[in-house]
Amino acid sequence: MLDELITKVTEAAEADDLNELNEACANLIAHLPSEAGAIEPEQARKVLKSLRSHRRFDQMRRVANACLVDGCVDVGVLHFLAQGMIELGEVFPAIHLLEKAVLEPNLDEGDRGELRGALGRAWKDLAIQSRGTRPDLAKNAVQEAFRHYREAWIADNETFTYQGINMVAVANWDRCDGRAFQALSDQQHDEADTAAKDIVEILTSRPCYAQENWDYATIGEALLGVGDQDEALNWYGAYAKREESAFALAGSARQLQQLWRADKEDWGKNILALIIGKLGLEPGAGFSVSPGTLQSLADIPKARHEAILGDIGAMTHRWLQKGLTAAKSVAIIFKDGQPHGTGFAVRGRDLDEAFGDEILLVTNSHVVSEPVYHNAATKAEATVEFELYSKGADDDIDFSVKEIVWQSSPKEHDVAVLRLSPSIPDDLEPRSLYEELPALTDEKKKRVYIIGHPSGREISFSFQDNELLDYELEAASAENSIAPCRIHYRTPTEPGSSGSPIFDQNWRIIGIHHAGGRIIQKLNGKDGVYAANEGLWIETMRRALREREQK
């Protein structure tokens, strides 16, 4: 039974259905206490490795914690738990957990080296986050990251080339990007330079059959450390061809951008193009719940909501019903009969008083436009269906696009406003547009929600890991600005989600979703990248639309 549950988790981790994955993880976690004896370390590591390779960090953290609670006292499981915490931004708790574990006197030296690698990663992330705002913290974090990577490398440089190359990368970042506080000494920089040369020699001297995929990226990075960017490109190219793990690919791209400033150099852009091209642009994290599931949640005790949907805050029956009502106005858009994107109904006067009480459909211009942007459907190719409105009716209503009232290119607001035929009925209850974005200054996390048709499936609600990350402050604060204002959030999406409405916590529309990726440049001039989805603020779009007649 346990092996079967583990197989279901590993299979779901590879698929795109987040519902299925969460259910598989929940079933495994629920079963563990009923099994005689603790889960075996090999079994636990197998399922956790699968979750990590597909970047399912929230699930990885939950399953790892459950295995430890079940009595699987294994340093590998603890390592996976700490990795999940680090990836989800829980850096300090991960550091405290790892600092204690790495000092265990009976610890195998191989495991100790792996734990030191995780500690180096945690301190490295903290250094990157605090540089420019907390120089003392950043300086200490650089020193700690270098120390942990170095100690693993010194202990066994044949085994711990991963830790060695990170020591090299941290030193490079300190030398180039850390001039304001330069945390490391000249001797430490010299030691890192020597390590880079040693890593190239160690790994290139191994026969091809003994080289792992990760070794190709490590050689490439070590070549950057010795200043040979052209040869580094060759090794990264071989790495991109071989590596299939999204976890590994995303880690490589993140390291190149954060510590090597690759996105600012021609050689770096070439290398990143190889990796990001293999990685893909869509997060593919999946949507969380269907309408039927959402309806059933109203009858589940609040204490279980967090286990099902993640930390999304207070939920009430009334709040859930509002979400279902909001979904009635969300439509699936077809191109020549095939699912193509999402749109949502809006009362005309919410966009411009000139439209009065007419109900219009809003989507991305890369979903429907004329002239066409990218692979958009033309007016003649597009048809529209409101799944929840038509469900239960004798005949589903198929809408066509009568007119594209206004559109803005994907480089601007990426929006198209459509007039449908027949007219959208009044009882469809379009949601109101809200002109303010949630404040980012409060300590409490702000959340946003998306309702759409992921991959052309039934209408779905996105709840998992749905934190509002940032938005362009200058565009948001400039009075009467019509410049596009990008919004970043972790709320999951999939292909087909383009054109979905972005809701605040009161089910008011604040934006329109249009893009996403595992490696997105942070906003407001901040250094670094993160996994994020991107939408555009509805208010600046409305301002631009209202000025259309003045141009």
Distance (Å, whole) CA 92 – CA 140? 14
Confidence (pLDDT) at 160: 93
Give yes or no for residue 549 having a pLDDT over 60: no
Straight-line distance from the first to the last Cα atom of the chain, in angstroms, rounded to the nearest whole number: 68
Which tens digit of pLDDT belongs to each residue from 205-234? Answer: 988 767 888 999 999 999 999 999 988 988
- The pLDDT, as a whole number, for residue 448 is 87
Q: Is the peptide bond before 501 cis (omega within 30 degrees of 0)?
A: no
Is the pLDDT at 311 greater than 50? The verdict is: no
User: CA angle at residue 469 from 466 to 474, to 5 degrees?
Assistant: 140
Alpha-carbon span 196 to 173, nearest angstrom: 14
Core vs surface per residue 271-306: b (16+ CB within 10 A) or e: bbebbbebbeebbbbbbbbebeebeebeeeeeeebe
Single-letter code of the amino acid located at 93: P
| Position with higher pLDDT, 525 vs 520 | 525
Cβ proximity of 472 and 486 under 8 Å: yes
Give the global pTM.
0.51
Planar angle of CA 512, 518, 524, nearest 5 degrees: 65
Poorest-pLDDT segment among 119-123, 202-206, 271-275, 308-312 = 308-312
Residue 404 reports pLDDT greater than 90: yes
- Encode pLDDT of 405-454 as tens digits: 999 998 899 999 999 999 998 888 888 898 889 888 766 678 888 888 87
Structure confidence at residue 284 as a pLDDT band (50, 70, 90): very low
50 has a pLDDT exceeding 70: yes
Confidence band, pLDDT 50/70/90 cuts, at residue 462:
confident
231-241: average pLDDT: 85
In degrees rounded to 5, what are phi and psi of residue 272?
Answer: -65, -35
pLDDT of residue 230: 85
Q: Are 452 and 403 in contact (CB under 8 A)?
A: no
**Per-residue pLDDT band at 288 (split at 50, 70, 90):** very low
Which range has the worst mean pLDDT, 9-23, 174-188, 201-215?
174-188
User: Which pLDDT score is estimated for 27?
Assistant: 93
Which pLDDT score, from 0 to 100, does residue 208 have? Answer: 74
pLDDT at res. 492: 59
Q: Is 55 helix (H, G, I), strand (E, B) or coil?
A: coil
Is it the case that residue 310 has pLDDT exceeding 70? no
